[in-house]
Structure formats: C-alpha cells, structure tokens
Amino acid sequence: MSSLRTPQGFKTLTANLGIKDDTPDFSVVYSEVPASAAGVYT
C-alpha cells in the first residue's frame, strides 16, 4: 500500500485489490470534517 499526498484535514489510502495488475486500483479519501465531493471514474 502507498499513501497519496493530501491537503491538511484529509487522509488517503490506496491499495491493490487485484482488479488490475500489481498497481494500486483502489483509493479512499477521508475528510476529518464534513465535506462534499464529486468524482468521475473511467
């Protein structure tokens, strides 16, 4: 697992779940305070 660089107040986690090869294919972004978010996945 590796960690992404994030702004203060956020935490991230990346992992390989086996969806693709040996590279990270799953990510979680967590806000320590209430926040809104949107994303586009391809």
Residue 31 is predicted with a pLDDT of: 94
| Residue 18: count of CB within 10 angstroms of its CB | 9
Residue 9 is predicted with a pLDDT of: 92
Phi, psi of 28 (to 5 degrees): -125, 135
Measured CA to CA in angstroms, residue 38 lies from 1, 6, 29, 41 at distances of 24, 16, 11, 10
25/19 Cα distance (integer angstroms): 6
31/7 Cα distance (integer angstroms): 10
Question: Does the reported pTM lie above 0.75?
Answer: no
Which of residues 2 and 12 earns the better pLDDT score? 12
